[in-house]
Amino acid sequence: MKKICQAKQLKRARILSLLFFICLVFIPSSNAAETAKSLPGMQQPYEYSSYDAVISGIASTTEGSNILTVSGSCKNNYWEPFCNIDVYLKAVMKDGRKIKAKRFYLGDLLEDESGKFELAVTRAPGIDHLELVFIYEICSIREDTSADSITIIIPWPAP
């Protein structure tokens, strides 16, 4: 009986040691996380705020990846719902060429409602900046007026 208890204690000790080792090895230190955030071309936060909307998020890519992702959320600040919100992303090259992404249909947003989006373009050398464009209609007047738009310029340092 005593040997069985000792075996169980030894097994528990081994499991705890293994967990401790995993935590030390695989959880990055805050310095490592800060270093990753400061690497050029890895992450670029952005924010837009007006009486219409609050839009914020991050443009990011991982080392070795050829995909540049822009994700975020759009909150309706206006006193009426937005309808048919389309989000477009394009990468503007230093020579003026543009790499376009597919459209992301965000849908409709009621007052004080938020919607999340994510778009991606192929990362290429020579990107100058990203343009994130929101095209939307105010639901009550959409037949009387053309759609409104918000354009956000996101500086993108070439890695």
Where along the chain do its domains lie?
Answer: 1-38, 40-155
What pTM, to 2 d.p., does this model score?
0.66
Nearest Cα neighbor of 58 from 154, 127, 126 is 154
pLDDT above 80 for 2 = no
pLDDT of residue 47: 94
pLDDT of residue 157: 66
| Residue entry with tokens 């738009």 | 149
Tell me 103's DSSP state.
P
Superfamily of domain 40-155, CATH level 4: Gamma-adaptin ear (GAE) domain (2.60.40.1230)
Residue 159's pLDDT band, with cuts at 50, 70 and 90, is very low
Nearest Cα neighbor of 91 from 137, 129, 39 is 129
Q: State the sign of the Cα–Cα–Cα–Cα dihedral 135, 89, 69, 43.
A: negative
The number of beta carbons lying within 10 Å of the beta carbon of residue 131 is 15
d(CA 75, CA 79): 12
The rounded mean pLDDT for the chain is 75
Residue 7's pLDDT band, with cuts at 50, 70 and 90, is low
